[in-house]
Structure 1
């Protein structure tokens, strides 16, 4: 079994988050660029992800889809990168909490806003995200308590949460607040984040080798 790491993506997709994560772990990976409506929906890729969506990774015989799951998998599979609190560490709780808060309530509430979906007040209890205001307040509190989302150390949760905050402020789906801007300044200017953006913003080669 080969342990080759293959990354399936499109430069204008949530794959940008996974690209950042891959650059953080610093392991060689091969990129397969897919196009919406064609190669992304072709049988060859549907064998990887039946949804026909990116991103996805294949690590040897292991396939992982869903951006937050990919980040968590890579952090645990390559512990030498130090991107996840070790099992038993008290930071493991907030690490999981905010990683999946961003994948659930934050993404749902932000998407509702972008689509103009308004959940009636009397039905907010039926949706997991409640309201965008509640989500935004909770997130602001989370990034205000310490330098990083799970304590004093950068983790994969900061990749995922940070990417959502950076994109949300840029797109208008998330209110700009001083706490968000300070947090994004800290995490968004990491060398791996800058490298990842440069790769996705430029014409890409068939194979990418992380620098360093």
Structure 2
């Protein structure tokens, strides 16, 4: 019998975030690896995600796309994993989860594309300037443990992936707060499992025929 969750992914993509979240949840899942040129653009997959991008998950017949949404959804769908605070303690959880998915993502992408907000036009950009967004991100992860205090949550998976990847690829500046937060993330067993699984897939895909 197939598992209740199916992950559509490519290991060289943001699919790593969804895989990390699934490893944190601890529920079994099936995986479909799609290539960029054919698999993600097939009619079957476009019926799941019309954007033709990964990741996506299907859980009990329901489709969820967008990494932040996948993290939040899985935390709610599997409460026993303890990856979401109680509803009256979710202010920082929601605030920083969606800040990373919105302003931070836009600021990093625009900088990578060589676009800078013209001086005096900052109000037209949801993130203001790259430096403003990064300074706010630093505030989010400046505590001694996690975004919601002592408790690791799904917000740390998504925000943490932004920080971890940003440091690795130079898309965010190296700062002591970011380095310390990333170091804590990299010690999590689920993070290590995800990296091991996806790195093995990458090595297999890159192996000469």
Q: TM-score range by the shorter chain?
A: over 0.9
Higher RCO structure (Cα 8 Å, ≥6 apart): 1
Gaps of 5+ in 1: 205-212
Alignment of 1:134 onto 2:116: no
Aligned partners of 1:7, 1:13: CA distance in 2, in Å?
Answer: 13
Distance in 1, matches of 2:29 and 2:158, equals 19
Contact 1:3 1:59 in 2 (8 A): no
The match for 2:110 is 112
Shift in Å at residue 123 of structure 1? 1.0
Displacement, 1:67? 0.5
For the aligned residue pairs, the C-alpha RMSD in angstroms reads 1.3
Is 1:145 the counterpart of 2:154? The answer is no
**TM-score after normalising by structure 1:** 0.92
Q: List runs of 5+ in structure 2 lacking aligned partners.
A: 203-209
Superposed displacement of residue 129, structure 1: 1.0
The aligned counterpart of 2:55 is 55
Query: What TM-score does the superposition give when structure 2 sets the normalisation length?
Result: 0.93
Retained in 1: the 8 A contact 2:3–2:29? no
In structure 1, C-alpha distance between the alignment counterparts of 2:139 and 2:116, rounded to whole Å:
24
Note the C-alpha offset of 1:3. Answer: 6.9
The aligned length equals 201
Alpha-carbon separation, structure 1, partners of 2:197 and 2:130: 32
Deviations along 1:46-95, whole A, 9 cap, x unmatched?
1111111100000011100000000000000000000000222x2x0100
| Contact persistence 2:4–2:60 (CA under 8 A) | yes
Aligned partners of 1:175 and 1:194: how far apart in 2?
A: 23
